Amino acid sequence: MIENLVIVESPAKARTIERFLGKDFHVKSSFGHIRDLTKKNLGIELDNKYKPQYIISEDKKKIVAELKKIAGEAKIVWLASDEDREGEAIAWHLSEVLNLKTENTKRIVFHEITKSAIQAAIQQPRGIDQNLVNSQQARRVLDRLVGFELSPILWKKIQPSLSAGRVQSVAVRLLVEREREILSFKPAASYKIEGIFMFLDQDGQERPFKAEIPKRFPSKQKTLEFLNKNKDAEYVVTNIEVKPAKRWPSPPFTTSTLQQEASWKLGFSVIQTMLVAQKLYEAGKITYMRTDSVNLSNLALSAAKKTISNEFGNEYIKIRKYKTKAKGAQEAHEAIRPTYLQNKSIDGAATEKKLYELIWKRTIASQMSDALLEKTVATIDVSTTEEDFIATGEVIKFDGFLRVYTESKNEEAEGKKKNILPLLKINQTLTNKSILGIEKFTQPQFRYTEAGLVKKLEELGIGRPSTYAPTISTIQNRGYVVKEDRPGSERKINLIRLENKVITEEIQTEFAGREKGKLFPNDIGMIVNDFLVDHFNDILNYNFTAKVEKEFDEIALGKLDWTEMIDEFYQSFHKKVEETLKCSEKKTGERILGEDPVTGLTVLVKMGRYGPVAQSGDAGKDKKPRFARLLKGQLIETITLEEALNLFKLPRIIGAYEGKDVIIGVGKFGPYIRHNDKFYSLKKGIDDPLTIEIERAKELIEEKRKSDRKKVIKTFSEDPDILILKGRYGPYLSYKKKNYRIPKAKDPGELSYEESLELIKKGQKSSTKNK
DNA sequence: CAGTGAGCGAGCTTCCGCTTGACTT
C-alpha cells in the first residue's frame, strides 16, 4: 500500500520533489497533458454545446496505465501540476482519467521548487478549480476551431497542407508587414559632421577627442559651405555640463529574454537555446526553462546575496524584486536561474557551459547595485558659424552590476566606440585637427530575427513560453518564411574632409541591407497572409488574442460560461468560413508584369503548383505558355519585367566539356550545371546562372568531382554500384541511391564485398518492416 | 537532390499548449 502519490508534469521536477518529501511520498510525472482533442476530425460536438471529444494521446497510454495502477493503491493522490490554466486542466484530466475520488484527491500548487514551498503547499490543499479548467477548455476549443476551419480553406483556395492559426498567422503577418515597409522604404541622405580636436594633456601629450554637430546637413553643398567657413575658425569651450547618471540591471531570464540574449550574445537559434536549456534543467543545473516569471525565490535571493558578497563585496549587493510586465503572464514558475548560485560555471558541452554562464551572470547581475556614471557634455563654439560642436563623454564611477553583465550589446564594440573626453575647462581654446562630413542614409526598420519575433509576440501576449520555439519552426516548415543571410547591395557614400585648411573629397562604399540570420517572408507567406487579412481580419488582428484572453479570465472567475463564449465567437466565425469557401476565387497572387517586347506575349508571375513561376503567354489563347521558376530571393511582389524575361533565358547551353554539352538551369534546389547527366550546384551568392561562363563551370565540375572522390572510402570491382562513403554522420554504404548503416564495431575500410551485400539485404528487410 | 506547370480524383494535410524521449539516413 502506498501512502501518498504526487503527480507533477515533469520527471525532473518529480525527482527533486521526491527528495524533499521523503519516504511516504511517491512522486510521478504525467509528462504534460495526457489527453487532447481527437485529431481525426474537429473533435468538438458542435450540436452538443461544443462538447470536446478527448482521447488519451498515443504516446501517453503507457504512463496513464501506470498512473492508474499506482493511484488505485494510494491512500491520497496529490495533483501538483502548475498553478495556471493548463496546469489546472492537467489536474482535471488526471482526475477524470484515473477515476480519482474527491475524498482522497488533493490539489496543491507551488511557484518554486524549494523544500519550504512544497511543505507549505502540502499544508494548504484545495479542490480542482472547475472555472479555471473551463477557461482552458475554451482556449483549447477556440484554437481548434480556428485552426481546423481556416486551414482547409487554404488547401482549397491556395495550396494543400498549408495551415493557419491564432498564433502562427499573426506571427507571419508581423513579418509580411515589416517586409513591405522595408521594401517600400526610400533612404534619404544627409551629412553628419564630426570634428577631431586636440587637447594638451597634463604630461604634455597631445590627445585627440571627437565632437559632433548635433544637426545633420541636408546636402553636399551645405556641407561644403560649412567646411569652408571652418578653414579660418577658432574654437572655444563655452559650456561644460556634468551630470550623474545611473544604469540598473535587467530582471532575471524568462524563456523569451533567454532566447533573445542567447541569440544576440551566443548566436543560438531559439530551438538550440531551448534544447541546451532542457539539458541543463534535466541535469539539475538550472530551474525550469519555460516560464514567463521574473520572480526569484527567497532561497535564491539569499544565495545571490552570499555569492555577490563573496565574489565582489557587500557594496555590490542590492536585492530586488521584479514584477512581470508581459501581457497574459501566468507565472507558474520562478525565473530561469542556476539551481546553485554559488556555481559560477559548470562542466559539460561548450554550448551548455556558455548558456549556463549567461544565466548565472544575468541572475547575479539582477541582484547587484546600480552602475553610477558621470556624463559630460561640452559645447565648443565655432567663431565663423552659428553651429556649435558638442562633445560627450561618459565615465563609470562605480561599475555595480556592469561588472558581470552588459545587456544586449557586443561588449567589445561598445568599449571601442566610447569617447574618452579630457578634462576641459570653460574658455579654453582648442585646435582642430580635422573635420569630416560623412554622407549618411536613413535606415529602414530592422528585419526580425527569430528571437526578435518571439519578443514581439510576447509583447502582444500571443503564444506561451512552451510554444515560442515550435511556432518559429512551424512558420518556417510551412514555407511561409525563411531564415537566411542576405549580402545586401553596395552603396556609394561621399566623404568630405577638411584638414590643414584643405578640403578633399572621397567616395567610399558601404553595404546597405546586409542581413544575417533574419526572417524573410516567402511568396506563399505573403499570399496566405493577404488572403487571411482580407477574409478574417478579426482573427488576424494583433489584439485578437488579448481580447479572447480577457474572456478566458472572466470564465476563470466564474463570470462567463465557456460554451456561451465559444458560441458567440463561432456563430459569426463559421458564417465567414462558409462565405469565404463559396465566394472567393482561387488565389495565386498573380501579377501581370507586361509584354515581352520580342514576342509580344503577356508576361506574368504567380504561385504555381511547385512554387512561384513566371509565365510567358496566356494558356487560353496563345499556344502552350512557357514557364520559368523564380530565383531565390525574387518575390512575386517585387520582380520586374526585365528580371522575369531573363528567367526564360534558362536553361542555356554555355559550351561543351569532354565532348558533352554544359547546360545551366534552375531546379528545385537552385541553379545548377548539367553535364553528362550529372548535376552540379552553382555557388550561392557567387555564381549567377544568367552570366556564368564555361571556364567557371568547368572549375565547379572539377571541384565537385574532387570532393566526391574524397568521400569514397572503398569500392568493389564485383559491383561498382556499391560504395562505402564518408558522410555527415560517419561512414555509410550507398547502393543504387539508397543508404545503409554500417555497424559501429566494423572498420568500414575492412568491409568485404560479401559483408556489404549482407548489409544491403538486412537494410532492405528492416525498412519494409518499419512500414 | 535537380529539368515539371493538362486534368481527374482518392486520400491526406491542419490548431495551441503541456511534456520528453526514440529516432538517427
CA of A506, C1' of B20: distance in angstroms? 61
- Give φ, ψ of A9 to 5 degrees: -85, -40
Q: Give Cα separations from A607 to A583, A615, A622 (angstroms).
A: 20, 10, 20
Tally: H helices and E strands in chain A: 21, 30
In window 460-479 of A, residues with CB < 7 A from nucleic chain B are: 462-467, 470-471, 474, 478
And the C-alpha cell for A176? 509580411
DSSP one-letter code for A689: T
Estimate in Å the CA A442 to C1' B20 gap, whole number: 48
The DSSP symbol for A99 reads: T
Q: Which residue has the cell 514584477?
A: A323
- Burial category of A183 from C-beta neighbours within 10 Å (exposed 0-12, middle 13-18, buried 19 and up): exposed
Sort residue A482 into left (φ over 0), alpha (ψ -120 to 50) or beta: beta
Distance from C-alpha of A124 to C-alpha of A140, rounded to nearest angstrom: 29
DSSP per-residue codes, A568-604: HHHHHHHHHHHHHHHHPPP----EEEEE-TTT--EEE
Q: For strand B, which nucleotides have at least one atom less than 7 Å from a protein CB? A: 1-6, 11-21, 24-25
Nucleic strand B within 7 A of Cβ A535: no
Q: What is the pLDDT of residue A763?
A: 67
Distance, angstroms, CA A586 to C1' B10? 21
Q: Kindly give, in sequence order, each residue whose CB lies less than 8 Å from that of residue A81, ignoring residues fewer than 6 positions away.
A: A7, A8, A9, A30, A87, A88, A90, A91, A94
Task: Name the closest residue (CA) to the C1' of nucleotide B1.
Answer: A669
- Is strand B less than 7 A from the beta carbon of A290? yes
Q: Which residue has the cell 502540502?
A: A122
Length of chain A as a residue count: 771
Give one word for A390, left, alpha or beta, with left for phi > 0 and alpha for psi -120 to 50: beta
State the DSSP string of A364-423: HHTTBPPEEEEEEEEEEEETTSS-EEEEEEEEEEE-GGGGT---SS-HHHHHHH------
The answer to whether the C-beta of A36 is closer than 7 A to strand B is yes
Cα distances from A440 to residues A295, A507, A513, in angstroms, run 44, 13, 14
Strand B at less than 7 A from CB of A131: no
Instruction: Give me the phi and psi of A225, to 5 degrees please.
Output: -60, -45
Between residue 67 and residue 86 of chain A, the positions with Cβ below 7 Å from nucleic chain B are: 82, 84-86
Please tell me the predicted confidence (pLDDT) of residue A764: 64
CB A405 within 8 A of CB A151: no
pLDDT of the residue at A330: 76
The cell numbers describing A139, all together, are 482556449
Q: How far is the CA of A546 from the C1' of B14 (A)?
A: 23
Closest residue, by C-alpha, to the C1' of B4: A610
d(CA A735, CA A739): 6
Instruction: Let me know: does A665 contact A704? Beta carbons within 8 Å.
Output: no
C1' of B21 to CA of A645 (Å): 52
- Residue pair A78/A5 in contact (Cβ under 8 Å)? The answer is yes
Question: Is there contact between A152 and strand B, defined as CB under 7 Å from any strand atom?
Answer: yes
| Cα torsion through A632, A637, A642, A643, rounded to 10 | 0
A229 within 8 A of A386, measured Cβ to Cβ = no
In this structure, the number of other CB atoms found within 10 A of the CB of residue A282 comes to 13
Mean pLDDT of each 10-residue bin along chain A, 771 residues long: 94 94 94 96 97 95 97 96 96 97 95 90 96 98 98 94 97 98 97 93 84 97 97 96 96 98 96 97 96 96 98 97 83 92 96 97 98 96 96 94 78 54 90 97 97 98 97 96 92 97 96 95 96 97 98 98 98 96 86 90 91 85 80 92 91 88 84 87 83 89 84 80 74 74 75 80 56 32
Centroid of chain to Cα A479 = 15
Nearest residue by alpha-carbon distance to C1' of B15: A147
Single-letter code of the amino acid located at A295: N
Q: Distance between CA A7 and CA A27 in Å, rounded?
A: 6
Q: What is the DSSP string of A633-652?
A: T--TTT--HHHHHHHTT-SE
Q: Could you tell me the distance in Å between the CA of residue A158 and the C1' of nucleotide B3?
A: 25
Q: Apex CA A37: angle with CA A13 and CA A533, to 5°?
A: 105
Q: What is the pLDDT of residue A734?
A: 78
- Is residue A245 helix, strand or coil? strand
CA-nearest of A655, A659, A662 to A701 is: A662
Amino acid present at A406? T
Active-site residue, selected from the candidate residues A54, A235, A288, A448: A288
Nearest nucleotide from residue A43 CA, by C1' atom: B15
Distance A112 CA to B7 C1' (A): 62
Whether any strand B atom is under 7 angstroms from the Cβ of A682: the reply reads no
Candidates A529, A541, A532; CA nearest to A461 is A541
CA of A369 to C1' of B3 (A): 65
Closest nt to residue A630, judged CA to C1': B5
Q: Quote the pTM value.
A: 0.91
For strand B, is any atom closer than 7 Å to the CB of A59? yes
* Neighbouring residues of A646: CB distance < 8 A, sequence distance ≥ 6: A690
Contacts within 8 Å (CB) and 24+ apart, A179-185? A179/A447, A179/A520, A179/A521, A179/A526, A180/A637, A181/A444, A181/A445, A182/A444, A182/A445, A182/A447, A183/A637, A183/A638, A185/A444, A185/A445
* Residues 168-227 of A, Cβ under 7 A from nucleic strand B: 168-169
Which of A587, A594, A595, A639 lies closest to A613 in space, CA to CA?
A639
Q: What is the Cα–Cα distance from A507 to A496, expressed in whole angstroms? A: 9
* A288 classed as catalytic: yes
